[in-house]
Amino acid sequence: MGAGIAQLACSSGARTLLWDPDAAALSSGVERVRAGLEKAASRGVIPADSVSEAFSRLGPGKGFSDLAACDLVIEAAPESAELKARIFRELSEIVSPECVLATNTSSLPITQVAAAASHPERVVGMHFFNPAPVMKLVEVIAGAQSSERAVAVARAAGEAMGKRVILAADGPGFLVNRCGRPFGMEALRLVQEGLSTFEQVDRVCRMAGGFRMGPFELMDLVGVDVGYDVQRSFWELSFGEPRWRPSPISARMVAAGRHGRKAGRGYYEYPPGRPEDPKPPEAGGGDGLVVIAGDLPVAVELREAASQAGWTVSEEAVEDVPWLIVDCAPADGDLDAFTGEPDNGGGAPLQGGPQVLLCADGSLSALDPAGAAAGFHALPPFDGARLVELTRTATTSSAAAERAERFFASLGKQPEWVRDAPGLLLGRIVCQLVNEAAFALREGVGSAEDVDAGMTLGLNHPRGPLAWADAIGLDHVVAVLDALWEETREERYRACPDLRTRVWAGRLGARTGEGFFAY
């Protein structure tokens, strides 16, 4: 990481000193910078004739004393509070009073690190993402005493390096790692509850959600042991926030030495790693009447996809017996987002054919107790999904299950049968991502724009959670969270108050013109 940051610095035009107390590590770091510059030139990221000039601005330091003339010092030492405290204590005695001191920590509170410096107001966080020369984001974090000038210097340095700089307040995980917590933690919870296997969670996230990697293969890449340390850090720093409770699965994996790729075995064995995803069926072949009820965005997108696949589509019950009813309307007794009155989807319960219910405001078991319906869950944008989750209960009829599977296959989606729960697998993970982002926004950790930029540029998520919530519909998100709370009574599923107030105000997202963003 240190070599990557040094590469960015000298490429930006700054005279750069690289120092490490280990002479071999320092020499290796300098060579890594040279190799990194040459690789960047070969890929067309920087001009080929700029490599020598950039490298000429880099020099190895001989000790802390060489840093005396620096305007900015970025520390990228291992994540040890004691080590960083010692470094900042010594640096404070060497550099000028105007020098800004930045730490690249990803987990330690900036305020804690700054406390060791003689002038804590000049200490900030500059959190680069690995690999630093490739990732497009830098997170600048202000501690409790960080001055506006220190934040401005750090921001200017990040922008000079060609990065999108986002500002975050000090706290567990800052902005990006905090908002990304549910991706792994909710996946672990699904497996812990016996609702899925880790392979299935990963497959659903990739094929239905568009994530480049599933949460378990990502844990293997980062290091299961590293992730577990972060879990415990979040838990301790938050004084026991239920959303951040460490997973016993992670503890067992670490105890067994299954630390991920670096150990040859984590949730997968290496080689071969995770299995290949199945190829979705070709779309088309619809040959009957399908009723798709409801006004949620997913219902609108389903009607369009079904029409393109050849089905005759209606939004409400008709005299003819439909081949399948896909019910995406709120369950009886739910409140309409605008009027606050009970909403049963706009009329009498749909009847006349096999049914498949959207498992948003409840599990299938809760929505259709002892009934014959099958269940499903999907999220916008539906056209980009390659998989749809289906579920059934002991009383689901074979006709409902078979027709649900055939219907979604006709839309070009791989049907995946999962255990019953509100939101099924992907919905539960994504709604918790939205919920965490909403809490971070409410607490002033960062702006909505920075939240979404951080998740897409820093964690390679397919879309930012707040823009995704606007596409899904905030009422849909709250329905899933409330159903999880109702059926589990776990504090981790309490919806952020700001989500609920937006729904009450009719600010449901893109379809109403305003949610977290304006449209």
Q: Which helix (H) or strand (E) segment is 38 a member of? A: helix 23-42
Separation CA 519–CA 517 (nearest Å): 7
Cis previous bond, 131, omega within 30? yes
Q: What is the dihedral of CA 489, 495, 500, 503, to 10 degrees?
A: -100
Residue 39 backbone phi and psi in degrees, to 5? -65, -40
104 Cβ contact partners less than 8 Å away, ≥ 6 residues apart: 1, 2, 5, 74, 75, 76, 125, 126, 127, 128
Q: What is the dihedral of CA 258, 260, 262, 264, to 10 degrees?
A: 60
In 179-296, DSSP assigns E strands to 289-293
Tokens found for residue 205 = 């996230």
The β-bridge relationship of strands 387-391 and 414-417 is parallel
Residue 257 backbone phi and psi in degrees, to 5? 75, 15
Chain centre to alpha carbon of residue 388: 20
- Residue closest to 350 by CA, chosen among 420, 286, 294: 294
Residue 160, CA distances (Å) to 79, 204, 373, 403, 473 in order: 26, 39, 58, 57, 38
182 Cβ contact partners less than 8 Å away, ≥ 6 residues apart: 243, 429, 432, 433, 435, 436
Q: Which residues are catalytic?
A: 139
Tokens found for residue 468 = 């995704």
Give the CB-side neighbour count of residue 427, counting CA atoms within 13 A.
35
Separation CA 347–CA 325 (nearest Å): 14
Q: 443 in helix, strand or coil? A: coil
Polymer length of the chain: 519
* Contact between 64 and 19 (Cβ < 8 Å): yes
Q: Which helix (H) or strand (E) segment is 275 a member of? A: none
* Contact between 190 and 176 (Cβ < 8 Å): no
Q: Which helix (H) or strand (E) segment is 433 a member of? A: helix 426-442
